Chain A
Amino acid sequence: MELEALQTALPDIQRLGASLVAISPQLEKYGHSVHRRLNLGFDILTDRGLQVGAQFGLVFVLPDYLKTVYLQFGNKLDEFHGENAFRLPMPARYIVDQQSVIRSANVSPDYTMRPEPSETVATLEELTNGRG
């Protein structure tokens, strides 16, 4: 859902001279099928071992009670990730400027919440106009 919404905002993001990437721990072949199915104009990157997610401080280990439910429903996170640690990143959206400084950070411990892509575009606009 979020990826589709970001795809809609992609022309605005590019118009402002910015790039967009989506990062998840799922292996390349799963990223490939999502990319094709949703016809995305931006890359889906594979964060093997959740190393980048961990550097951003986003990674958590699924509690056993949740892992049990995932497994019951045939959600094979171990296959998707190529590891059996059952870890996930919290959903998050960052805007990074050309000096590698984070200019906007939005982390969602509640996975049903996301910032609007239009907010991201508005922040980028401020940034590129030198008002950020």
Chain B
Amino acid sequence: MTSLQVSELTVRHLGPRGPVTAVDGVSLEIPSGTTLGLVGESGSGKSSLARAIVGLGPLHGGRVLLDGQEVRIRTVRDRRRLGRLVQVVLQDPDTALDPRMTVRRTLVEAATVFHRLDRPARAARVAELLGLVGLDPRLADRLPRQLSGGQRQRVAIARALAVEPGLLIADEITSALDVSVQAAVLNTIRELRRELGLSMLFVGHNLPAVCHVSDVVAVMRHGRIVEAAPTGAILRTPQHPYTRALLAAVPSLRTPPPDGRPS
């Protein structure tokens, strides 16, 4: 529903030995209703890029355009305008939710940022949001520590969806989860995209997981995008040597690696 264009984005961090360029003039585009997967290894700058787009991190150059309009965050008002369009889900299920707030309070808070809701409407909205991410509405009165990691991560997704954003940024949301739980969260993400027509930036280091939910995959290395192509194409005919190395390194049960099992 919301398209994202990033052009020549640059992010620098202050390291122990002077500034480090984390994102080096990256341009990418997410047409409305599609999902871009961003893969790369740790330190490749993918999280810095995601955080810079939502204004959580610094931005030292380049432009971010949402539906063709340039995003600038100077005031809280700017941030609220951006928040209506773009929401983010972050990596760590342990700190994703405020430990002192029940699921209900967390979701109500998010749902009432831009809309006034009376009491019955709030209850209905909470149930609707939990249903959207495939959680039992009875979990609404639990505290985060009473939920599993996968449930917490799904509540975090529900919170992001509560403001009805057009673009969702998911930064390594399945990295800290077990495989069987990861599968459920990935399915949830795919369902949401289909039902709500969300545009999405899905950041991760697990190539199969990213490919599973993405229309287009961009491979990032040393702060630059080295290859971007539709998912099928990047899996079948990877062009860049780094993409090929990345694909070859993914362990798989069904296709043994070329060097085979140690004998």
Please say whether chains A and B are actual partners in one complex: no
